[in-house]
Amino acid sequence: MIEKMEKIYIYSLREQSSDILEDLMRCGIVEPTRAESMLEEEQVKGLAASDGIDLSREEDLVLRLNECIDALKEFGEKRGLFYRKPSVTYKDLTNDQVLFETIKSCEAIEEIVKERAALQKELQKTEFEKAAFLPWRSVSGDISDFQTKCTKLICYILPQPRDAGDLAKAAEEKEVDAYFKRISEDEENCYVAALFHKKDEKAVREIVSLFGAKEFSLDGAEGTFEENIQRRDEKILRLKERIQTEEQKLKREAGKRQELEMACDAVQLRMDCLSMKDNALHTEKVDVITGWVVASQKDRVSRALEKRTCCYQYKEPEKDEEYPVLLKNSKLVAPFGALTEMYSLPDSRSMDTNWAIGLFFFIFFGMMLSDAGYGLILAVGGLGAAKLLDLGEGAKRLLTMLGISGISTIFWGLMYGSFFGDVIPTVAEVFFGKELELPQVIDPLSQPLVVLAMSCGLGIIHLFLGMGFKAYLMIKRGDKWGALFDVGFWYIFLIGLPLLILPGKLKLIGIVMSIGGALGLVLTQGRAKPTVFGKITSGIISLYDVTSYFSDVLSYSRILALGLATGVIASVVNIMGSLTGGGVIGAIVFIVIFAGGHALNMAINALGAYVHSARLQYVEFFGKYYEGGGEKFDPLRAKTKYVNVTEEK
């Protein structure tokens, strides 16, 4: 059902507003709104808007805490797939003393991380310098001797495929007296030393620039190339030792990761509360806070507010006023609410039909996938993962929905005699030489018309239920005659049509119902038209809508098609696996093809069953009655990343 909402108006001293918002967050059943949207125009004129809350300090602190958490992840205990977030009370999570101590730990970790990052940067620089010197290792002369009174030696990095010979040839053509020697080369460059008279330096530089050569800078280098490489090797070793020391410090701090995570969530909660103050209006001393509250639980809010120095009042929404939508369903139905939310939440003045959506999705999904083996995997995997894994609310609901739908798949798989296709008879025949048949109530391959009739029959029930919901909404809003004209006459007409093909009295009943329903539609479907001619014409034209009902019913034939596809492909996989016959090799081949083929078949057809089952809800079913556009109820509550907030004991 759709929970009833009421407006809440809170008038508090400005210095208590943050505490009151924190109380509302603990309750988790109030959605604060912009105060001007709930107050009368005259009331708003006497109030001032918020100047805006500066959250930059809190945002910076959250960023710092997350950086420290990320730094400790590398050194702390690895969290596996089944790790569950710790549960803490709101009071423990927001303990200011604990937060203060944790921030001091954060500062210490930041210093370690900063020092480690600086050392790593220096290490990368040193390793780069060493790599730059390596190609010149064979040059034995001291770098200080590369320049004499009359000559100069410069090292150049020449892009491949050019080499020293190309430079020498160019110098000869320009009549420049220079000597070029290849020192080494790799896949990208050729390393060349150029010796020349100082008076020819400009000409040499012009020559090498034509070939795209770059000078290797020797600024700050002393001794031979080998000595420079050795000095950098020693420096690299020292830097690695220092980095290791800093990492040991981080390992010792790794146990504080959970404290940092709690602090991060605590600061985030504080930001959420403070940001809500922007919605309030105020006078010099009083803040006006407004919002929507779940009517059935407003006593919890009252008990929390009575502890504060404030005034508050509740007010029901106006007759046609929209309010946020919160759906309340049983544990069995609630997971299927994900289907509704994917489409659109119902209008707050409409109705919650999740029970019907869940029931028919459950049936349709099972008929489409229709394999007991696949259903068993879905049921165990989906429900098990939802129970054991610490997932978000959305993922948990989806897994639960698939797990429940897996139970339907098991049922229909047993009805059709399909367990991983015909794997049991195939294995019995190929590997044990025995004939074995699985019992089946319906064989979709030899009795497709039976399955088609079942699919269309369920489709008719589905569509009629949607029409019934439309009639209910019209009656609820006081339009009883409209319910009769727009739904009742269609019921009579559509039920009468199939009775026409039956013998005896049923045919007579069909004639009476068809004619009566058609006349009722002709006389009422144009009632909004201003003229008699328009009323009659629109009524007659409305009968054409019967074709849309027939096409809607035929849409449910996809249930047969997808069910056949799953079973046939599964059987083909088993045939392919058994082509090599029995024996050890045959068993190995069968297992490989069985695992891969059925995994692919299950993935594709489970996705198809999900999509097409949802489509039958969204197009055929919703098209008969659904009024979407509802805005989801989003209360101020503890939205945490690292811990689960529990009720106070």
Reported as a single tens digit per residue, the pLDDT across 134-174 is 999 988 888 888 888 889 999 999 998 888 999 999 999 88
Query: In the chain, count of helices (H) and strands (E)?
Result: 24, 12
Over residues 89-94, mean pLDDT: 87
State residue 529's pLDDT score. Answer: 83
- Residue whose C-alpha is closest to residue 438's, from 455, 454, 416, 456: 416
Q: Which helix (H) or strand (E) holds 614?
A: helix 583-615
C-alpha distances in Å from residue 33, one per residue of 289, 410, 633: 8, 47, 11
pLDDT in tens, 224-268: 999 999 999 999 999 999 999 999 999 999 889 999 999 999 999
Over residues 351-376, mean pLDDT: 95
| 3-state SS assignment for residue 573 | helix
State residue 455's pLDDT score. Answer: 95
Q: Which helix (H) or strand (E) holds 310?
A: strand 310-315
Measured in whole angstroms, the distance separating CA 117 from the mean position of its chain's CA atoms is 33
Quote the tokens at residue 279: 């919605």
State residue 562's pLDDT score. Answer: 94
| pLDDT confidence tier of residue 196, bands split at 50, 70 and 90 | very high
Query: Which residues, in sequence order, are CB contacts of 547 under 8 Å at separation 6+?
Result: none
Is it the case that residue 649 has pLDDT exceeding 60? no
Query: Which residues, in sequence order, are CB contacts of 288 under 8 Å at separation 6+?
Result: 9, 10, 11, 35, 39, 47, 280, 281, 282
State residue 301's pLDDT score. Answer: 93
Mean pLDDT, the chain, whole residue set: 90
In percent, how much of the chain has pLDDT > 70?
100
C-alpha distances in Å from residue 272, one per residue of 22, 30, 268, 279, 448: 9, 13, 6, 12, 58
| 3-state SS assignment for residue 643 | coil
In percent, how much of the chain has pLDDT > 90?
61
| pLDDT confidence tier of residue 475, bands split at 50, 70 and 90 | very high
Of residues 300 and 438, the one with the higher pLDDT is 300
**CA end-to-end span of the chain, whole Å?**
30
Over residues 43-57, mean pLDDT: 82
pLDDT in tens, 163-186: 899 999 999 988 889 999 999 999
| pLDDT confidence tier of residue 80, bands split at 50, 70 and 90 | confident
Is it the case that residue 190 has pLDDT exceeding 90? yes
Is it the case that residue 51 has pLDDT exceeding 80? no
State residue 277's pLDDT score. Answer: 86
| pLDDT confidence tier of residue 537, bands split at 50, 70 and 90 | confident
State residue 290's pLDDT score. Answer: 93
| pLDDT confidence tier of residue 389, bands split at 50, 70 and 90 | confident
Is it the case that residue 408 has pLDDT exceeding 90? yes
- Residue whose C-alpha is closest to residue 323's, from 296, 292, 357: 292
State residue 282's pLDDT score. Answer: 87
| pLDDT confidence tier of residue 436, bands split at 50, 70 and 90 | confident
Of residues 440 and 51, the one with the higher pLDDT is 440
Backbone CA torsion sign across 619, 622, 624, 629? negative
Over residues 600-625, mean pLDDT: 94
CA-based R_g, the chain, Å: 39
Quote the tokens at residue 201: 């330096």
State residue 148's pLDDT score. Answer: 86
Quote the tokens at residue 86: 């710790």
- C-alpha to C-alpha distance for 198 and 195, rounded to whole angstroms: 9
Q: Which amino acid is at 100?
A: F
| pLDDT confidence tier of residue 41, bands split at 50, 70 and 90 | confident
State residue 648's pLDDT score. Answer: 64
Measured in whole angstroms, the distance separating CA 82 from the mean position of its chain's CA atoms is 19
State residue 501's pLDDT score. Answer: 85
- C-alpha to C-alpha distance for 507 and 510, rounded to whole angstroms: 5
